[in-house]
Structure 1
Amino acid sequence: MTKPTAAEPRPDRVRHSVQAGVTRLRRSWPALLLTALLVVLMVPAALLVAPGFLGPELPAPPPPAPAWQQAPARLSPEAGLTPLSASASIPLASSVTAQVEPLLKADGGGTFTGLVQDALTGQVLFDRGGSDNRVPASNMKLLTAVAALRALGPERRFTTSVKSGPAAGQVVLVGGGDVLLAPGESNGEQVMGHAGLATLAVGTVEALKAAGTSGEIKVLVDDSLFTGPALNPVWAEGDVAAGEVAPVYPLALNSARYDPAVTTGPRPQDPAMTAAEEFAARLRTAAAAAGLTVAAAVERSPVPASASGEEPGKPAVLAEVESATVARQVDLMLQASDNYLAEVLGRMAAVAAGHAGSNDGATAAVRAQLADAGIPVDSIQLVDVCGLATGNQVSARHFADVVRAITTGTDGRLRAALDGFPVAGLSGTLDTRYRDDSTARGAGLVRAKTGTLNTVLALSGYVVDADGRLLVFSFIGNGLTPGAAGNRAALDRAATALAACGCR
């Protein structure tokens, strides 16, 4: 048997060494466990105490902002509608007719006529009796808008002034065509109420004080700018009683309304005197602080203020206020379909042309301005200029021609009427229409003047079709069943078809 070398441990010695190590480990186990426990407790304590020695912990950097919140490296191009292109395809007349024809059906009695044209070329794309004269209702206001913008100019304003009276102690309120006067202070941001009687009264008192006036002041009113019957005899008594219109004078409050927010019901029957009495009340308030009194009664001036003699030391004009521009008044007339304002603008167009400020002068002025604009008028019959009368006779072709003149004609003054066209589903007399599935595609796209009488409906305006082509249209229904809902829907669906048309 071989003996182990000195370098090799004997088995009994190995076993003894292992047993000794285990014994020592057992004896030291409580100390090791205590040490581990102390380490576990010291780590959190150190974390709590460390900031006191190291200072506050720096906040973590914020996450990067999303791309849409970061400053752009370059500016985006200016937003807006792209200009119309003359190269856009003109719709096929056969396709337009196929779209419009089945929609333009009367609900009950009566018939519709209509015309659709390409705005740039005048090419007729749909024609159903387009040259036949019809009762146009308030589409008449489109003709009046053209006449006013041409005869007066878009930037023209109407002046309401106070002048020295024909006798001492008298002042004359002179109507200059502004029927949108407010009783209070002027508000230059508004069309209705751009000029205010309270502002005019303050200016008048200042002028009277500067002239050394004392005693009682008497107010006269001069409304001689307009002549002839103030109430057109062709207007139905029921329409006048319902407040569709009022006697026409060259000055009035709120377009001859007691309250501008109430557009139905009774109206002043002498709007000029109503305005003069309100001015006298405002003058009385302003004059009290200056030691002046104002007589209660207001009378019409016996002679026009322009013919009144001037007292020594007194200016002819004591104070004046100006209306909103004709362009803004035309927009209001079209958006709200304001009969009273239309009649006044027609008379002012007549005065500007050197004619009488009467109904006959207004209708003659409208015809003359249309003819000068290149629109044939031989077959047109006009008995008022607001469209309330049923004796007016105008064709859909005439209205399409007028809309073409406004949108693409050579007379840039007429562009001022574009904002006045109500927008389908959004503004003016179209704000509550184009809401159902059959017309929703026209909402925001169709821009058109409405017309409504008992048996008459009309819609004339413009639209850009699906291919980017500008189209003008006029649809007129006469002899319709009063109140039949399908008739208005027929007009709106026909116009919507044009907006959605990719009719190539």
Structure 2
Amino acid sequence: MTRSKRRASTAPASARLGRIVPMVLLTFLVVALLLPAGMAVGPGFLGPARSPEPVAAGPWQQLPATLSAPDAGGPGGGARPLSDAAPVPDAAALAGQLDATLKADGAGSFTGVVQDAVTGEVLFDRGGDEVRAPASNIKLLTAAAALRTLGPDRRFSTKAVAGTAPGTVVLTGGGDVLLGAGESAPDAVLGRAGLATLAQSTVQGLQQDGVSGPVTVLLDDTLFTGPPLSPAWSPEDVAAGEVAPLFPLALNSARFEPGTTTGPRPRDAAMAAAEAFAARLTAAGAAAGITVTPGVARVPATEKAPEKTPGDAGSQAGGRAGKVLAQIESATVGQQVDLLLRTSDNYLTEVMGRMVASASGKPASNDGAVAAVLQQLEELKIPSATLRAADLAGLTLANQVSARQLSAVVRAMTTGADSRLRSALAGFPVAGLTGTLGSRYTDTSTARGAGLVRAKTGTLNTVIALSGYVVDADGRLLVFSFIGNNLTPGAAGNKAALDRTASALAACGCR
């Protein structure tokens, strides 16, 4: 990928199993492993076992013979919940296995922590308190902060507002950088809110207000403050498109085309979105006799949104006093967190951090975002005195986080008291199947972890990291974090070492 990161029926599988195994496995994992929708996952991790009968090898370790039933996981369903009755791995036996796999290829070294998710017992600790550059594993902090501060069901609004001057329409950004240029796609995350839909609704609003003369489009992107680029980012990374200047509205997560994940980005993503909106408004207004003046400008200082009061990020719309002509809403925060974890999206992560800051009453700037995210760690009782964060995407070696801190964040997501964090679990890439782990765990040394390990990846030139969760062979839920620093650039054995180590956890019946 990039430098920083780089449904069901009861029909038997029988003769069709060869064609549908990937779908079966992924569906079964989502339903049977951890049910990470929130309400179902907590009892699954913490509640008593439904069957007193011991199981030699749990169903989570087996390829299902049939597709999951629609009510799987509920009463009478085909998936049993995980239980704290499963044996905890013996720490010494586990360490023996992990010490054999967690080795650097060339220079550098690995630190790591493995914990029992239910009790928090530390089962493996190699330099777990040593702070290191975590690369994109730092995105886990923003994911947790966004779910706690904004809530998994929050949506961001992009509005067309009547300006103070007659015949002006102000496109007002409210934090949605996953806008689509076309019609809104209600079932999508990227493109859930479409500018063509907003333009059509805006024409209707103008007609209702009796506007018939030429319309001028202005842009209000004042929700964010401070420099649009973090001083911690190298110009080379910006030029390569690892990240771009941050604005509270953008098309395709500040990419020129949907689905593009590499290469240069628009330097002014907000203006690019505003120009796309003006083009759609021109097309939609033609049939109604409404013309649009060519060109888009930013709102004058005298028309900018008033200062927000603390905690007033909820409207996410810039706070203008004019009449709202039309608006479109983003995918939920929970869905966006899933996307940023699965694809390791730098731009979306940084924007989400600024939205957390705005909702926390802090400036929606780089410094405000970092402060707001670290505040949420403290509220989660995760010690962060030693933690240093220069950005939230993980593009700089200036970030310093320990494996114990990252493991604690994952544990809070899996079994912590705040059920809002469960929404992050579905976004963790699945080994050999999805996201940044989709092309890994494909050889015999890592096959034991394929489909079972779920973890956030992280990669810089001399850094590699992996933090996530897995159910071992005995049915025990484990959380882990491994960080390699000062590694030989390009050494293939380092990624393999991480994958073999996580696979050893999945296969562990360590007693």
1:318 aligns with 2:325: yes
Q: Which amino acid in the other structure matches residue 369 of structure 1?
A: Q
Instruction: Indicate the SS of the match to 2:260.
Output: coil
The 2-side partners of 1:160 and 1:399 are apart by 34
Q: Which amino acid in the other structure matches residue 278 of structure 1?
A: A
Instruction: Indicate the SS of the match to 1:298.
Output: strand
1:436 aligns with 2:443: yes
Deviations 1:150-172 (A, max 9, x none): 01000000000010112111110
The 1-side partners of 2:134 and 2:401 are apart by 6
User: 1:163–1:305: 8 Å Cα contact kept in structure 2?
Assistant: no
Instruction: Indicate the SS of the match to 1:102.
Output: helix
1:476 aligns with 2:488: no
Deviations 1:448-470 (A, max 9, x none): 00001111000000000111100
1:29-428 matches, within 5 Å, as 78-303=76-301, 304=303, 306-307=305-306, 316-428=323-435
Deviations 1:113-137 (A, max 9, x none): 0000111111111111010000000
- Report the alpha carbon displacement of residue 307 of structure 1 after superposing the two structures with TM: 4.9
Q: Which amino acid in the other structure matches residue 488 of structure 2?
A: T
Deviations 1:218-264 (A, max 9, x none): 00000000000101121111111111101000000000000122211
User: 1:174–1:305: 8 Å Cα contact kept in structure 2?
Assistant: no
The 2-side partners of 1:356 and 1:229 are apart by 12
How many aligned residue pairs are there? 427
The 2-side partners of 1:80 and 1:345 are apart by 37
- Report the alpha carbon displacement of residue 207 of structure 1 after superposing the two structures with TM: 0.5
Q: 2:458 aligns with which of 451, 459, 466?
A: 451
User: 1:165–1:305: 8 Å Cα contact kept in structure 2?
Assistant: no
The equivalent residue for 1:72 is none
User: 1:96–1:503: 8 Å Cα contact kept in structure 2?
Assistant: yes
- Report the alpha carbon displacement of residue 269 of structure 1 after superposing the two structures with TM: 0.3
The 1-side partners of 2:199 and 2:508 are apart by 56
Q: Which amino acid in the other structure matches residue 209 of structure 1?
A: Q
The 1-side partners of 2:296 and 2:233 are apart by 29
Of 289-298 and 179-188, more deviation after overlay is shown by 289-298
Q: 2:504 aligns with which of 485, 493, 497?
A: 497
Change (3 A) 1:237 1:307: closer
Asked which structure has the greater CA Rg, the reply is: 1
The 2-side partners of 1:305 and 1:205 are apart by 23
- Report the alpha carbon displacement of residue 306 of structure 1 after superposing the two structures with TM: 3.9
- Flag structure 1 segments of 5+ consecutive residues without an equivalent: 1-67, 69-74, 309-313
The 2-side partners of 1:126 and 1:156 are apart by 37
- Flag structure 2 segments of 5+ consecutive residues without an equivalent: 1-13, 15-70, 308-320
Instruction: Indicate the SS of the match to 1:344.
Output: helix
- Report the alpha carbon displacement of residue 81 of structure 1 after superposing the two structures with TM: 3.1
User: 1:117–1:123: 8 Å Cα contact kept in structure 2?
Assistant: yes
The 2-side partners of 1:307 and 1:492 are apart by 50
Deviations 1:65-99 (A, max 9, x none): xxx9xxxxxx9985543211111101110011001
Q: Which amino acid in the other structure matches residue 357 of structure 1?
A: A
The equivalent residue for 1:35 is none
The 1-side partners of 2:410 and 2:78 are apart by 23
Q: Which amino acid in the other structure matches residue 215 of structure 2?
A: I
User: 1:139–1:460: 8 Å Cα contact kept in structure 2?
Assistant: yes
The 2-side partners of 1:346 and 1:203 are apart by 30
Instruction: Indicate the SS of the match to 1:235.
Output: coil
Deviations 1:459-499 (A, max 9, x none): 00000011110000000000111111100000000000000
Q: Which amino acid in the other structure matches residue 221 of structure 1?
A: L
TM-score for both structures, normalised by structure 1: 0.83
Instruction: Indicate the SS of the match to 1:363.
Output: helix
Percent identity, aligned pairs only, is 65
- Report the alpha carbon displacement of residue 102 of structure 1 after superposing the two structures with TM: 1.3
User: 1:172–1:305: 8 Å Cα contact kept in structure 2?
Assistant: no
Q: Which amino acid in the other structure matches residue 459 of structure 1?
A: L
Over the aligned positions, Cα root-mean-square deviation in angstroms equals 1.7
The 2-side partners of 1:412 and 1:222 are apart by 35
Change (3 A) 1:256 1:80: farther
The 2-side partners of 1:483 and 1:167 are apart by 57
The 1-side partners of 2:396 and 2:493 are apart by 24
The 2-side partners of 1:257 and 1:132 are apart by 36
User: 2:163–2:169: 8 Å Cα contact kept in structure 1?
Assistant: yes
Q: Which amino acid in the other structure matches residue 112 of structure 1?
A: F
TM-score for both structures, normalised by structure 2: 0.82
The 1-side partners of 2:79 and 2:232 are apart by 45
Q: Which amino acid in the other structure matches residue 187 of structure 2?
A: E
User: 1:339–1:386: 8 Å Cα contact kept in structure 2?
Assistant: yes
User: 1:176–1:250: 8 Å Cα contact kept in structure 2?
Assistant: yes
Instruction: Indicate the SS of the match to 1:282.
Output: helix
Q: Which amino acid in the other structure matches residue 464 of structure 2?
A: L
- Report the alpha carbon displacement of residue 305 of structure 1 after superposing the two structures with TM: 5.2
Q: Which amino acid in the other structure matches residue 481 of structure 2?
A: S
The equivalent residue for 2:31 is none
The 2-side partners of 1:307 and 1:290 are apart by 33
